[in-house]
Amino acid sequence: MLRSLRPVLLGVAAMCTTHPVWAESPSSDSLSLVVMDPLAAPLSCPCVEGYAQRQYEKLADYLTEQLGRKVTISFGESLKGALEKGEVETAHVVVGKDSVVRADASKIGQRMLPVAQLTGKDGATTQTGLIVVPSGDSTRKVEDLGGYRILYGPPECDEKFAAPRQLLEDAGIAVVAAEQAETSAACSDGACKIIEWGDAQNAAAVISSYAAPLLEGCGTINKGDLRVVGETKPVPFVTAFVNAELPKSDRQAIRKALLAVMDHPELMLSLETLRGFVPLSDDYRAYYQQSTEPTADAAPSGTGPPGVGAAEPPPPPESQLGWTGWRGPHRDGRVRALPTRLPEKMVANWEVPLAHAGLGGIAATDKLVVIGDRNLDNTGDEFRCYDAATGDLLWMVDYPADGHLDYDNTPRATPLVINGELGARVYLLGAFGHLTCADLATGLVYWQKNLRDEFQAEHELVWGMCSSPLIAGGNLIVNPGAPEASIVALEPMLGTPEWQTPGHTTGYGSLTIATLGGRQQLVGHDRTTLGGWDIKTGERLWTLTPPRDGDFNVPTPIEVDGKLLVTTEGNATRLYAFDDDGRIVDEPVAVQPRLAPDMSTPVVVGRRLFCVCGRLYCLDLDNDLAVIWEGDDDAFGDYAPIIADDKHLLILGHGGELLLVDALADRFRVVDREFLFDDDATREAELYSHPAIVGQKLFVRGEAALASFDLD
């Protein structure tokens, strides 16, 4: 059946395990191109005519000509190996298997930005994983693999690890924990092992679709030795990345040159490509949008690890659209990747005037930006939607909403975007209780109601209705604060009540979802107490009245390791545990009296908690909320919103000053800072509207304008 097991490392294994052949280190005026494409000629073998012999040296020559700078080329299996050898100090451009480049960049702490995808000879930009068994095995489909020994590929190879594990799970096959999975370094290793073991071993292997022709072509196995019983969903294959540290002009020039490869037929032939390099596709973006938010040590399978800057950091699966509501898709103020430095000068891509200074946050996708404002005479709400790329006004929803509130009358709630069965919709809540469901693309109003009128809320509005709408349990959650309808669940498409629960008047913060004591529940404040509610029925599960009354209850509670962290101006910062029924234990397990914000909601990075209250506090979650450090800065007032990734904090401070802060340092360390607005009114103001980030675009509300900035 097998010619020999010895040729394994001479054939397909060369694609994965060949030692790097590095060119000399580039000079300061040159650029380095590192090729990690398993179909590149130096990383493969000439076994199949016209396949896996990509001549990237010609791409380097082409880039040299197009960019007017010498481009040196190196071939290898990893970035880490290159840097350890000292032959390449920095990889400026990397072309390789998408998930492997991402994993390597994360390991060495280099932030690489995807800019284009290379098409194959079939025009595709994807690959799949193939689950194979020996040809004599009786298994015919994935569902028959229960109890089989599965040999996966390395965790950084999405098509051989994450994708097949998902395929098996979808088929009802139990898979071992990722850290216990059995792996093979190369496709040939796994294929040869299961052939050697024979049919009686109940074993299967996962190989890459691009490697299948080479297994037989290189003589590693004989034709007909293996049979495919399952194929994964497509995952990105070869992607071109640029180093985030390069100047923006260089990155744009490299991308432009790559996309122009299709105009050079001889180069296309050398790269074995039908359409050359193409822009990042919607499928590429969707693939990373469906991934799980990574931790610092998470496996890089399909997640775009912290060392890699995704072209558009993915929101969680339930939104798949962007910065979709209050503090982002998870209401946690987190994004996949922030820049490691701010641009030298942050000039607005566009800026549009607003009628009033505002409190409500921004919702945004890669295409649209939605914000609440008022008409000029301050007698009605105006929610406007702008083109994310140009700032052009696309639509407006307006209606009369007369009255007078402290801190003006603009909407307080952040719009909520959802992608439902009937398309994307946006929910808009004004400060006087007007709730609107509109089509995200067109602004067409599907339904509108006044929550206070419909549910007979009688309490006086001082600061208006502030709680941002929330989707939970398939319903739209709002809190009218009426005696018989303290919290209400509405059917999202129709606006009809699904349940309502009696209780107290509204607080001034937003509800969130948390799993506490093993029970998922709605959590938040009413006017005087903290509470938890059953998501499906609205039943109030528990009530906590704080020792000191008078809190405004603005900051959103956040879940931390199954506990609830609550912070307010009168009762400071507390961490509560829960019993097995999901009910709160009255006495907190930790208290930090020095952090007592009126408005700011904390963010969590690793085992640290950060919050602004006159200064920036860094608290230790593993040491009873002890203060690790405090940061004094003129940019920090009573309120400053924070957006975080695994390494940095992006803080919008007083006067529209943007601060990039090291979240891992043992002291307060500002990495970069930049004022976003030049007008005197904004420079003197404290901005209360929470900004939004989608990919590398930052959307900020100044004192009298909405603006878009590049973080890249």
- Residue 294's identity, in one-letter code, is P
Q: HEC profile for 539-605? A: CEEEEECCCCCCCCCCCCCEEECCEEEEEECCCEEEEECECCCCCECCCCCEEECCCCCCCCCCEEE
What is the CA angle 657-658-660, rounded to 5? Answer: 140
Show the tokens assigned to 33.
Answer: 């191109």
Q: Which of 103-112, 269-278, 478-487 has the highest mean pLDDT?
A: 478-487
Least reliable range by pLDDT among 286-290, 327-331, 348-352: 286-290
Instruction: Find the range with the poorest average confidence among 263-277, 614-628, 652-666.
Output: 263-277
Written as one string, the DSSP assignment of 406-433 is TT-SS--SPPEEEEETTEEEEEEE-TTS
Domains and CATH numbers, the chain: 6-123+237-280 (3.40.190.10), 126-234 (3.40.190.10), 510-553+555-586 (2.40.10)
Give the amino acid at 74.
Answer: S
The token pair that represents 164 in the structure block: 């097949």
Please tell me the distance from the alpha carbon of residue 97 to that of residue 135, in angstroms, as a whole number.
29
Instruction: Please say whether the beta carbons of 604 and 597 come within 8 A.
Output: no
For residue 394, give the nearest of 442, 361, 352, 349 by alpha carbon.
442
Tokens read off for 453 = 């009128």
In which band, very low, low, confident or very high, does the pLDDT at 200 lie, cut at 50, 70 and 90? low
pLDDT digits (tens, 9 = 90+) for 546-577: 999 989 999 999 999 999 999 999 999 999 99
Give residue for tokens 């209360």: 688
Q: What is the mean pLDDT of the chain?
A: 87
Q: Report residue 667 as tokens.
A: 């002291």
Roughly how many angstroms between the first and final C-alpha of the chain, as a whole number? 54
Does 338 have pLDDT greater than 50?
yes
The residue ranking higher by pLDDT, 648 or 1, is: 648
CA 264 – CA 255 distance, rounded (Å): 15
Report pLDDT digits (tens) over 445-470: 999 999 999 999 988 888 999 999 99
β-pairing, 93-97 vs 657-662, is unpaired
Give the bridge partners for 660, in sequence order.
Answer: 650, 672
433 has pLDDT over 90: yes
Structural tokens at position 682: 């904004």
> Per mean pLDDT, which range of 187-196, 230-239, 325-334 is the poorest?
187-196
Strand 149-152 with 203-208, pairing: parallel
* Whole-number pLDDT of residue 9: 30
Is the pLDDT at 102 greater than 60? The verdict is yes
Task: Provide the pLDDT for residue 29.
Answer: 79
Query: Pairing between strand 363-365 and 322-323?
Result: antiparallel
56-67 and 248-259 helices, crossing angle to 10°? 130
Q: In the sheet where 423-429 sits, what is the strand order? A: 416-420, 423-429, 434-439, 445-450
Instruction: Please compute the mean of the pLDDT values over residues 635-641 and round it to a whole number.
Output: 94
- Does 302 have pLDDT greater than 70? no
Q: How far apart are CA 214 and CA 1, in angstroms?
A: 17
Could you report the per-residue pLDDT of 569-586, keeping only the tens digit for each?
999 999 999 999 999 999
- Tell me the CA distances in angstroms from 11 to 133, 151, 192, one per residue in order: 20, 19, 12
Predicted confidence (pLDDT) per residue in 133-176, tens digit: 888 888 888 998 988 999 999 999 999 999 999 999 999 998 98
Q: Is the pLDDT of residue 292 over 80?
A: no
Given this model, what pLDDT does residue 76 score?
85
**pLDDT for 310:** 42
* Sign of the alpha-carbon dihedral angle for 133, 137, 140, 145: negative
pLDDT at 314: 35
Question: For 427-434, what is the mean pLDDT?
Answer: 97
Tell me how far apart the alpha carbons of residues 47 and 331 are, in angstroms, rounded to a whole number: 53
Closest by Cα among 558, 560, 533 to 544: 533
> Does pLDDT of 312 surpass 70?
no
3-class DSSP assignment, residue 22: coil
DSSP string, 89-134: S--SEEEEEHHHHHHHHHHHT--EEEEEEE--TTS--EE-EEEEEE
- Residue 234 tokens read as 């497509």
Q: Which of 660, 632, 630 is nearest to 647 (CA)?
A: 660
Q: What is the mean pLDDT of residues 698-706?
A: 96
Can you tell me the mean pLDDT for 519-528? 94
pTM score above 0.85 = no
